[in-house]
Structure 1
């Protein structure tokens, strides 16, 4: 992964976290890692639902929209990661859960162009 892509991803996650805080959500963890992979953001929404948020960022649209890059395989992996997270956090196991996607688009000069929040993305 190039520095540019990694930097873009980090910026997208920062924008997403700021957006969620603005909604009044409580962010429980960011960049949760285990042997399976990583969850970008784990939060509780204003209604108490546990939300696993996948953040996708792009500069330009030559490769499509950011959210279009989440394949069936990636969705499966995110579900497995969420199960693993709940195994090590048994107090949260009975919480209602969902998967959201936040897509962040940047202009080629690095300015945020658009942020889209897709609830119940899969």
Structure 2
């Protein structure tokens, strides 16, 4: 015997974004931020066997390598706190590799910035509530 009574349907809860989705959203917001400053995005997600550079941009004649740190939780400090001395050393090596691959370009300055993106913990996809902090010249 089958039960033909219908059960009330629950409203589907919105799917929580995966970590990769949150990272991609943060990188998109970071690219928009640097473009709003008048910078030109040269490359995104450049990779080699040693790692990845999130965002490479030109600020006039300065080359700016941007590390993007995104969080959807407020439990931890500013996402930029995740850029440790070990991470900085890795970034220096990656920047040298990028420059070696782009010998035809000339830059008056090379700078490393960190953009921290704090998403709304209740709705990480609400980009209008995201907070972007720009840490310039973490090392030059």
The TM-score normalised by the length of structure 2 is 0.80
* Counterpart secondary structure, 1:121: strand
Other structure's SS at 1:8 match: helix
Q: Which residue of structure 2 aligns with residue 119 of structure 1?
A: 136
> What's the CA shift for 1:44?
0.3
- TM-score where L is the length of structure 1: 0.91
Report matched runs for 1:42-121 at 5 Å.
42-45=56-59, 47-92=60-105, 94-108=107-121, 109-110=123-124, 111=126, 112-121=129-138
In structure 1, distance between residues paired with 2:53 and 2:106: 16
Higher helix share: 1
Q: What is the SS of the residue equivalent to 1:56?
A: strand
**Shift in Å at residue 20 of structure 1?**
1.0
More displaced 10-residue stretch of structure 1: 69-78 or 108-117: 108-117
1:23 equivalenced with 2:40 (yes/no) = no
Q: Alpha-carbon deviation of 1:84?
A: 0.2
Structure 1 residue ranges without an equivalent (≥5): none
**SS state at 1:24 partner:** coil
Residues matched between the structures, number: 119
Does the 8 Å CA contact 1:43/1:51 hold for their aligned counterparts?
A: yes
CA root-mean-square deviation: 1.3
What do residues 83-120 of structure 1 show as CA deviations (whole Å, max 9, x unaligned)? 00001100235541000000000011112431011110
Q: Answer whether contact 1:26 1:43 (CA < 8 A) is retained.
A: yes
Query: What SS does the aligned partner of 2:61 have?
Result: coil
Unaligned runs of 5+ in 2: 1-16
